[in-house]
């Protein structure tokens, strides 16, 4: 029997997962509209809690002020990298001339980035609530408490890294790490949600062998993570190309990306095949309204939308809407695959 406090945790945990996905969507909109530097400082925006709407509301000498602030923060970050033995990365940040180029004020981009930050703050609030409500399991499942609190620290590091994304003027590798940390936050939330739901339920027992499905599902999750990393690198390369072309001739951007796009496209074929195999294996082993079967169906729908948005990006001149959808559904695909893995992991084969 699930207590009221446990039901509250499960409900808040689920909302946290949804809000986190919305934050990733907001981040995709920021990237696709080029609004990443809409707020040149962090956590405030142009030194205000409510962003300006007109250039007359900006601080005096705002361009010089925020460039100086970025350089100061980047020097601290470079020292942090040097302490980790990343001397070459530290030097590349110190000598990156693009950081010294101030961004022109654009109200639309400023408010797009500001709304993204508000979404991030909302996710932080729900993660904090999840950690608080997790104490309902202090006698039955302490790992839920530990992981929920751990997620608060991960989000704190993610927020700090977000400030570095701004101060380094969207440095490519920092953006990739920022995306991977978002997956970590999602994975922890999905794990605690599933663990809490399954805590009072007996593991499923089926007549068919499940070991191969578990192994292949794990492989498919790893494939999706690799595909997301490659996709982030493609997007970073496109950013560089777009900036060099002054954001004109967007139909030519993908063609100029090079091998990383080919790897991303070719790996997509393997992702489709792997998910198709997973779907076949799940349908062979589960029936009716079994949670693994329903999750597998959602995976196929998500994968289809992901493929359509990918085709739009590659062959229809990189439309901004497709960029945001592509990022969201790649993350949703990973989330569903990981959730399916957790469901299948608790399933065992019947033995006489």
Q: Alpha-carbon distance 323 to 126, whole Å? A: 26
Beta strands in the chain (DSSP E): 205-206, 348-349
Q: Domain ends where: 172, 201, 230?
A: 201
- 352 pLDDT more than 50: no
Burial class (CB in 10 A: 0-12, 13-18, 19+), 37: buried
Give the number of domains in the chain.
2
CB 20 within 8 A of CB 186: yes
Q: Are residues 267 and 343 in the same domain?
A: yes
Give the per-residue SS3 of 238-283. HHHHHHHCCCCCHHHCHHHCCHHHHHHHHHHHHHHHHHHHHHHHHH
Q: Are residues 113 and 186 in the same domain?
A: yes
Range of the domain at 73: 1-201
Quick check: helix, strand or coil at residue 52?
Answer: coil
* Angle in degrees, 0-180, between the axes of helices 4-32 and 107-133, rounded to the nearest 10: 160
Q: Domain ends where: 181, 201, 221?
A: 201
Q: Are residues 212 and 70 in the same domain?
A: no
Q: Alpha-carbon distance 45 to 59, whole Å? A: 11
Q: Are residues 7 and 116 in the same domain?
A: yes
Q: Are residues 219 and 128 in the same domain?
A: no
Average confidence (pLDDT) over 145-154: 95
pLDDT in tens, 88-115: 777 877 777 777 777 778 888 899 989 9
- CATH code, domain with 314: 1.20.120
Average confidence (pLDDT) over 36-65: 82
Q: Are residues 127 and 148 in the same domain?
A: yes
Q: Are residues 196 and 207 in the same domain?
A: no
Q: Are residues 216 and 244 in the same domain?
A: yes
Q: Domain ends where: 201, 233, 258?
A: 201
Q: Alpha-carbon distance 265 to 2, whole Å? A: 45
- 192 pLDDT more than 60: yes
Burial class (CB in 10 A: 0-12, 13-18, 19+), 79: exposed
- 102 or 30, greater pLDDT: 30
- 12 or 262, greater pLDDT: 12
Name the residue among 167, 169, 324, 165 with its Cα closest to residue 243. 169
Query: Which pLDDT score, from 0 to 100, does residue 223 have?
Result: 94
Q: Alpha-carbon distance 28 to 36, whole Å? A: 10
User: What is the rounded end-to-end Cα distance, in angstroms, of the chain?
Assistant: 29
pLDDT in tens, 247-259: 677 667 777 777 8
pLDDT in tens, 113-149: 899 889 988 999 999 999 999 999 998 889 999 999 9
Q: Are residues 154 and 219 in the same domain?
A: no
Q: Are residues 174 and 287 in the same domain?
A: no
Average confidence (pLDDT) over 276-286: 90
Query: Which pLDDT score, from 0 to 100, does residue 167 have?
Result: 66
CB 9 within 8 A of CB 140: no
Q: Is the CA virtual torsion 309, 314, 319, 324 positive or negative?
A: positive
Residues shown for the chain: 352
Can you say how many angstroms the Cα of residue 134 is from the centroid of all Cα atoms in its chain? Answer: 23
Which of 9-26 are b and which e, b meaning 16 or more Cβ less than 10 Å from the residue's Cβ? bbebbbebbebbbebbbb
Q: Are residues 174 and 72 in the same domain?
A: yes
Q: Are residues 24 and 117 in the same domain?
A: yes
């Amino acid at each position: 029997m699930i207590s009221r406090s446990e039901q509250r945790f499960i409900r808040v945990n689920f909302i946290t997962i949804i809000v986190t996905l919305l934050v990733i969507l907001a981040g995709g909109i920021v990237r696709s509209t080029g609004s990443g530097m809409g707020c040149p400082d962090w956590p405030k925006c142009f030194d205000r809690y409510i962003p300006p709407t007109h250039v007359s509301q900006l601080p005096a000498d705002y361009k010089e002020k925020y460039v100086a602030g970025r350089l100061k923060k980047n020097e601290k970050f470079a020292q942090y990298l040097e302490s980790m033995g990343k001397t070459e990365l530290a030097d590349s940040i110190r000598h990156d001339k693009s950081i010294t180029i101030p961004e022109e004020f654009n109200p639309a981009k400023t408010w797009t980035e500001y709304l993204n930050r508000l979404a991030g703050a909302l996710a932080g609030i729900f993660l904090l609530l999840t950690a608080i409500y997790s104490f309902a399991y202090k006698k039955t499942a302490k790992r839920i408490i530990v992981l929920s609190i751990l997620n608060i620290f991960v989000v704190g590091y993610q927020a700090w890294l977000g400030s570095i994304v701004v101060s380094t003027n969207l440095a490519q590798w920092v953006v990739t790490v920022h995306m991977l940390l978002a997956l970590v936050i999602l994975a922890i939330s999905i794990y605690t949600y599933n663990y809490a739901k399954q805590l009072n339920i007996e593991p499923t027992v089926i007549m068919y062998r499940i070991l191969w499905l578990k192994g292949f599902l794990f492989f498919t999750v790893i494939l999706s993570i690799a595909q997301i990393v490659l996709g982030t690198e493609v997007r970073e390369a496109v950013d560089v190309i777009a900036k060099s072309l002054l954001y004109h001739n967007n139909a030519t951007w993908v063609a100029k990306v090079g091998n990383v796009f080919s790897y991303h496209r070719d790996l997509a074929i393997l992702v489709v095949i792997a998910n198709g195999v997973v779907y076949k294996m799940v349908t062979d082993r589960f029936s009716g309204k079994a949670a693994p079967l329903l999750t597998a169906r959602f995976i196929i729908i998500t994968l289809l939308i992901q493929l359509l948005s990918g085709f739009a990006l590659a062959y229809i001149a990189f439309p901004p809407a497709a960029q945001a959808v592509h990022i969201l559904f790649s993350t949703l695909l990973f989330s569903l695959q990981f959730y399916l893995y957790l469901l299948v992991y608790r399933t065992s084969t019947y033995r006489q």
